Amino acid sequence: MSHVERFTAMNSATPALPMAKARFGIGDVVRHRLFDFRGVVFDVDPVFANSEEWYQAIPEDLRPSKDQPFYHLLAENAEQSYIAYVSQQNLMQDESDEPIDHPAIEAYFNGFDGSRYQLRPEHRH
């Protein structure tokens, strides 16, 4: 068997890993399952796309799997607003119908309809 035949055989025998489907979309308001904060999704990574240093800083017993969607959030808690990067397993839909109080909301979104934010046209692609 030649190198090309071996390479082709190995690649065709290796099934593609299924990619987890994103549960939330841009503009959705979500809440963290473990920590007391909520936010609006402004970007989605189909799998982990942050630094290894960031990942290793998460306590091992709380560290999520990398092979799931991760969400960029304009987040808020009782004390402050900030940007958060959160795995899908740690998020749930926010049912409060309350808007997010974050200074960057208007840069990304036009308005809040009571359940989700409407992305500004210039950010659509």
Q: Which residue has the higher pLDDT, 16 or 98?
A: 98
The Cα 89–Cα 66 span in angstroms is: 11
Distance of CA 108 to the CA centre of its chain: 16
Length, in residues, of the chain? 125
Domain 20-123 has CATH 2.30.30.390: yes
8 Å CB contact between 123 and 40: no
* pLDDT at 42 exceeding the cut of 60: yes
Domain boundaries along the sequence of the chain: 20-123
Query: pLDDT-based confidence at 16, cuts 50/70/90?
Result: low
The two tokens of residue 37 are: 């904060």
Which tens digit of pLDDT belongs to each residue from 62-82? Answer: 999 999 999 999 999 999 999
Q: Which residue has the higher pLDDT, 125 or 111?
A: 111
Average pLDDT, the chain: 88
The two tokens of residue 50 are: 């942050």
